Amino acid sequence: MFIPIVACLYAQDAFAWGRNGHEAIACIAEHHLTERAKANIESYLDGRSIVYYASWMDQQHDHKPYKHTVAVDKNNEPLPPDKRPELDAMNAIALSLERLQDYKSYPKDTVAQDIKFIVHLIGDIHCPAHIVYPKIKRFFPVKIMGRVKKYHPIWDGMLEYNHDWGYEEWREQLDRYSEEEIAAMSEGVPMSWARENAKRCRVIYDWAKEGDELDRKFINKAYPLAEDLVVRASYRLAKLLNELFDE
């Protein structure tokens, strides 16, 4: 059972969550879109769902090669615009949101690309290993379940270590919060979400060091954090898209 999962994860070293995780985030978000927002969005995606494009940025397309990471300082604060790497995920999110605020003024292809960026990158900034802390390595080798692997992609594929589900099954199992709880989790903006995630996720580098042998106990400690961040990414993505397209 474990061998094919590991083989799949080796192909995802540079990607947050992997296809299954991104599709789960998009699927949950889609179920919280208003009918008007969903229809407006799909009119720019040639009738396709946001789930269809959840991993679009991880594929070989002709678009600006933004990083899928957030750079933060020693206090877990996302770097300000003048200090960020040019291709930082927060720059991509900010530019796409700026255009989408006035999306009717832009060509259809531009709007479609910005939707794809937002759908993907809101998920990325909620992936623990995609927060880049100063002087902390993310790709150090460990052994997990008897196999050598880099630490970063373990987090990209954390969902698959616990359940072999498709995105609809993840939605059925994780999307179980009340309207009040969803509203509370959705408060804020991408910058505050990145800050919150940076504070929460630094602990993963206390959970494993280079050369450690990680077992089921590690996975049992790690996956609740991953699942919670997937849920929060989903509700926050839905909030953004509803604010932009429910008109």
CATH number, residue 162: 1.10.575.10
Question: Cα separation of 115 and 56, whole Å?
Answer: 11
Give me the number of domains the chain comprises: 1
Distances (CA, A) of 76 to 31, 67, 133, 225: 32, 18, 7, 18
247 pLDDT band (50/70/90 cuts)? confident
Specify the pTM: 0.92
Q: For the chain, how many residues are written?
A: 247
pLDDT, tens digit, for every residue of 170-227? Answer: 999 999 999 999 999 999 999 999 999 999 999 999 999 999 999 999 999 999 999 9
Please report the sign of the dihedral spanned by the C-alpha atoms of residue 62, residue 68, residue 74, residue 77.
positive
Question: Cα separation of 68 and 37, whole Å?
Answer: 26
Domain range spanning residue 37?
2-245
Residue 214: its H or E element: strand 213-214
Cβ neighbours, 10 Å, residue 7: 10
Q: pLDDT at residue 92 above 60?
A: yes
| Token digits of residue 67 | 């990083």
